[in-house]
Amino acid sequence: MTKPQARWTPAERKILAALDAPIEVQRWLNAIAYDPEPGTASPRRVMRERKANCFEGALFAAAALRFHGRPPLVVDMRSWNDDDHVLAVFRRDGAWGCVAKSNYTVLRFREPVYRSIRELMMSYFDVYFNPIGQKTLRAYSAPFDLSRFDAESWMTTGEDVSHIGGALDRARHYPVLTPFQIKGLQRTDPDLVKAGLMGAKIKGLFKPKV
């Protein structure tokens, strides 16, 4: 067991050991509460408090995937007139998939069938919308390796780790649309918006500009 992995308590290792496939990590995240509060808790605190926002969920998922031998990678999705989103990404047989915590039902798990990170990101494009149906995804980062923060015990610390989000925000991002394409975007079908919002158990977290 590596030094970062050795910091888990027996109870934490029992939880992580049971999450032996990415879909099991996703199901665990789906079962806990969505946390609208500012700040960023470590994976240890997420396990103790049983709540997470999307960034905290991505950190937890990356830690859980790492427990089973995968690198702890996250990708930032940058939006316009909406909240950004963060995913924990993984590869199987050379293809990318991801795990994510979201109060939108359509912004969660993706099977590892995408040949590139861009292809994975574009699987979200038509379902990345705000409550008034605007399609809001504008850019994404390259996979960001959280192991660079091992010296700070990012997985198990009791301190706020929001600075990791700042580092991720400063990472290189790649646009998904041209200005011409942005001007031509249509609103999302209202039925799809309703379906996406089925997972929003806490209302009023984001108020978009009309």
Q: What is the DSSP string of 24-68?
A: HHHHHHHHSEE--SSS---HHHHHHHTEE-HHHHHHHHHHHHHHT
Query: What are the pLDDT digits (tens) for 11-70?
Result: 999 999 999 999 999 999 999 999 988 889 999 999 999 999 999 999 999 999 999 999
Percent share of the chain, pLDDT over 70: 94
Residue 6 pLDDT grade (very low, low, confident, very high; cuts 50, 70, 90): confident
Residue 129 counted as domain residue: yes
**C-alpha closest to that of 88 among 153, 164, 156, 31:** 164
Look at residue 38 in the predicted model and tell me its pLDDT: 81
Give the Cα separation of 93 and 110 in Å (integer). Answer: 15
Give dist(CA 39, CA 144) in Å, integer: 20
Q: Which of 25, 44, 146, 138 is nearest to 85 (CA)?
A: 138
pLDDT tens figures, 135-160: 999 999 999 999 999 999 999 999 99
Provide the sign of the torsion angle of the four alpha carbons 99, 101, 102, 105, taken in this order. positive
CATH number at residue 69: 3.10.620
**Residue 206, in any domain of the structure:** no
State the Cα angle at 19 between 1 and 51, rounded to 5°: 105
Q: What is the pTM of this model?
A: 0.93
Please tell me the total count of domains within the chain: 1
Domain presence at residue 23 = yes
Query: Looking at the domain assignment, is residue 116 inside a domain?
Result: yes
| Structural domain for 76, as ranges | 5-197
Cα 129 from chain centre: 16
Domain assignment of residue 203, yes or no: no
State how far the Cα of 83 lies from the Cα of 103, in Å rounded to an integer.
11
